[in-house]
Amino acid sequence: MAEPKTKYDRQLRIWGEQGQAALEKASICLLNCGPTGSETLKNLVLGGVGSITIVDGSKVEFGDLGNNFMVDDSSLGQSKAKCVCSFLQELNDAVKAKFIEEYPEALIDTNPSFFSQFTLVVATQLVEESMVKLDRICRQENVMLIFARSYGLTGLVRISVKEHTVIESKPDHFLDDLRLNNPWPELRGFTEAIDLNVQDPVAHKHIPYVVILVKMADEWKTSHGGTLPSTREQKREFKELLKARMAATDEDNYKEAIDASFKLFAPQGISNCAEVGSSSSDFWVMVAALKEFIANEGGGEVPLEGSIPDMTSSTEHYVNLQKIYQAKSEADYLVLEERVRNILKKIGRDPHSILKATIKSFSKNARKLKVCRYRSIEDEYNNPSPAELQKYLTDEDYSIAVGFYILLRAVDRYAANFNHFPGQFDGGLDEDISRLKTTAVSLLNDLGCSGLTLTEDLINEMCRFGAAELHAVAAVIGGIASQEVIKLITKQFVPMTGTFAFNAIDHKSRLLNLC
């Protein structure tokens, strides 16, 4: 057994070899390596990303020793980027680690093309002005971007990517695709060969519930003018019918059939968000093919996923059933593949430019596709969503988190005016508080929420925080940022959509739907 595979065993069980390969190909750029940035990268280096480049122009100060695990006493006065880089390298020698001793703000202003070399940029502790500029650059260069910021007992995480498409969203709970109410000929043939009234009790209790439900649905239809149970009363009746067919009270297969009967009643067709756009990325080419499939061969259905849940059954029935589902899934995939190749040809692309494996995965996950889009930072700031904000601000449980979101923006305005953050220094706290209050009022006004106020308590707290970057808060924010980075790079699972406003006071944090 190869060592790297063993080392990554616990995560390979989550995102598989493919996800790992994507990570190992990725190059990540970190802006500012305080604890928020260092902790984000720590988690990514451990997971085995391809390369990291750390950009930070500052030197290690005494205070950094108290909040950053990636520096120690010997680092004092040295380049922070260099020290953090070398400590991070210790964690995993498979990662290529580089550093650039320069302030990110300067790099954003003087060398925008610098960012095009990366898969993804993690921008930490940036103020509003730099965020807007960087966002513009990354969107232009098609580089994924994630902002992370820790500030006292609050912070935020925000993804900025034009569009992120996911084939393998791997939801925790998802209704099986069993086609119980619409069996294809092979499945119907299989169920017809099985006698529900078989005398042998062992055989009777080992008929898989898929067979029971398909046959009983047919029986119901014959006596109900070809329709399935639809009212609550009918559904209850249908379950009674199932119960009546049990040969003994301990027949688990019938119990499962009763429990799974809702799968029969569930509405058909695709309810998910496969949006069709005009862009011609591989994903959207496949979506176009999927649309054609549904309208033609699919007869209103997407390609079959092909896996079935475990159920009480004889081994033989189960294995055969599995083969029937897999064969149908494979056949559907082949049709879809053909359609993908044709579309590629039509739009003038190499018909084999999308890998078989990708189309197969797309075909199997057709019901689970996800598209995430994010507004630009500039747009979010220039075109606020006052209705959303007001809704959040009046939701008692989450008003602190939303208040923090607004105050995080207020402190940037404050800093732009006064050259320091409110409460950053020990003197003049009272003055800072009243200035921050004024700034917040004018910001709320600009956001179209002039009628609303933030509590004195919250404004006071924000000044108390004085832009502190606490290690534990940075570890939460960095942890979340790195988790989102992994989802973006592996293209598995679903990244957050919105701005995560962290509330470390009572942990009633909030994902704000503002982007």
Partner 1 sequence: MIRLFKVKEKQRETAENAKDEAVRRKQTAGELRLHKDISELNLPQSCGITFPNGKDDLMNFEVSIRPDEGYYHGGAFLFSFKVSPIYPHEAPKVKCKTTIYHPNIDLEGNVCLNILREDWKPVLNINTVIYGLYHLFTEPNYEDPLNHDAAQMLRDDPKLFESNVRWAMKGCRIGDTFYSQCI
Partner 2 sequence: MADAAPPSKSRDLDKLLLRPGNLVGPTFDPGVQLRDDLQEYVRVLVVGAGGLGCELLKDLALSGFKNLEVIDMDRIEVTNLNRQFLFRLEDVGKPKAEVAAKRVMERVSGVNIVPHFCRIEDKDIEFYNDFNIIALGLDSIEARSYINAVACSFLEYDSDDNPREETMKPMVDGGTEGFKGHARVIVPGVTPCFECTIWLFPPQVKFPLCTLAETPRNAAHCIEYAHLIKWDEVHSGQSFDPDNPDHMKWVYDEAVKRAELFGIPGVTYSLTQGVVKNIIPAIASTNAIISAACTLETLKIASGCSKTLSNYLTYNGVEGLHTKVTEFVKDKDCLVCGPGVLIELDTTVTLKKFIDMLEEDPKMLMTKASITYHGKNLYMQAPPVLEEMTRSNLELPLYDLMDKIPKDVLHATGTINKDDKKSSGLRKLRVVFRGIDGVTDMDMAGGA
58, 7 in Cβ contact below 8 A? no
CB 202 to partner 1: min, Å: 5
| Residue 472 touches partner 2, criterion: CB under 8 A | yes
Question: Residue 483 burial by CB count (10 A; 0-12/13-18/19+): exposed, middle or buried?
Answer: middle
Gyration radius of the chain over CA positions: 28
Residues between 65 and 84 that touch partner 2 (CB under 8 A): 65-69, 72-73
Query: What is the C-alpha to C-alpha distance for residues 434 and 426, in angstroms, rounded to an integer?
Result: 15
Residue 409, CB half-sphere, CA atoms under 13 Å: how many? 22
CB 361 to partner 2: min, Å: 17
Closer of 335 and 496 to partner 2 (Cβ): 496
Closer of 334 and 494 to partner 2 (Cβ): 494
| Residue 250 touches partner 2, criterion: CB under 8 A | no
Structure tokens at 496: 């957050």
Structure tokens at 176: 């099986």
Residues between 383 and 402 that touch partner 1 (CB under 8 A): none
| Residue 319 touches partner 2, criterion: CB under 8 A | yes
Residue 171: name its binding partner from partner 2, partner 1, none (Cβ under 5 to 8 Å by kind): partner 2
| Residue 469 touches partner 2, criterion: CB under 8 A | yes
Query: What is the C-alpha to C-alpha distance for residues 336 and 334, in angstroms, rounded to an integer?
Result: 5
| Residue 95 touches partner 2, criterion: CB under 8 A | no
Closer of 2 and 202 to partner 1 (Cβ): 202
Amino acid occupying residue 233: E
Residues between 189 and 208 that touch partner 1 (CB under 8 A): 201-202, 205
Give the 3-state secondary structure of residue 165. strand
Contact segment (CB under 8 A) with partner 2 among 264-272, 310-318, 356-364, 383-391 equals 310-318
| Residue 2 touches partner 1, criterion: CB under 8 A | no
CB atoms within 10 A of CB 209: 26
Structure tokens at 278: 């005009």
CB 249 to partner 1: min, Å: 12
Query: 98-107 burial by CB neighbour count: b if 16+ within 10 A, else e?
Result: ebbbbebbeb
58, 80 in Cβ contact below 8 A? yes
Answer for which of 104, 298, 303, 478 binds partner 2 (CB under 8 A) is 478
Q: Residue 167 gets which letter from DSSP? A: S
CA angle 66, 68, 70 (to 5 degrees): 130
Interface with partner 2 (CB under 8 A), residue total 93
48, 95 in Cβ contact below 8 A? yes
Answer for which of 234, 272, 314, 358 binds partner 2 (CB under 8 A) is 314
Query: What is the C-alpha to C-alpha distance for residues 1 and 382, in angstroms, rounded to an integer?
Result: 55
CA 404 to centroid of chain Cα atoms? 23
| Residue 465 touches partner 2, criterion: CB under 8 A | yes
x/- string (CB under 8 A) for partner 2, residues 441-460?
Answer: ---------------xxx-x
| Residue 479 touches partner 2, criterion: CB under 8 A | yes
| Residue 507 touches partner 2, criterion: CB under 8 A | yes
Q: Name the H helices within 266-346.
A: 282-295, 315-346
Residues between 202 and 241 that touch partner 1 (CB under 8 A): 202, 205
Structure tokens at 476: 């939460």
Answer for which of 294, 302, 476, 488 binds partner 2 (CB under 8 A) is 476
Question: Residue 394 burial by CB count (10 A; 0-12/13-18/19+): exposed, middle or buried?
Answer: exposed
Answer for which of 89, 169, 182, 280 binds partner 2 (CB under 8 A) is 169
Query: What is the C-alpha to C-alpha distance for residues 239 and 223, in angstroms, rounded to an integer?
Result: 15
Answer for which of 8, 115, 238, 392 binds partner 2 (CB under 8 A) is 8
Residues between 382 and 401 that touch partner 2 (CB under 8 A): 400
Closer of 63 and 201 to partner 1 (Cβ): 201
Residue 201: name its binding partner from partner 2, partner 1, none (Cβ under 5 to 8 Å by kind): partner 1
CB 369 to partner 2: min, Å: 13
Residues between 176 and 235 that touch partner 2 (CB under 8 A): 206
312, 212 in Cβ contact below 8 A? no
| Residue 315 touches partner 1, criterion: CB under 8 A | no
Contact segment (CB under 8 A) with partner 2 among 191-199, 273-281, 386-394, 477-485 equals 477-485
Closer of 220 and 392 to partner 2 (Cβ): 392
**Residues whose CB falls within 8 Å of the CB of residue 361, separated by 6 or more in sequence, listed in order:** 167, 168
CB 467 to partner 2: min, Å: 8
CB 495 to partner 2: min, Å: 7
Question: Residue 109 burial by CB count (10 A; 0-12/13-18/19+): exposed, middle or buried?
Answer: exposed
Answer for which of 428, 438, 445, 451 binds partner 2 (CB under 8 A) is 428
Closer of 14 and 295 to partner 2 (Cβ): 14
Residues between 107 and 166 that touch partner 2 (CB under 8 A): 152-153
Place of tokens 């393998």: 168
Binding site for partner 1 (CB under 8 A): 201-202, 205
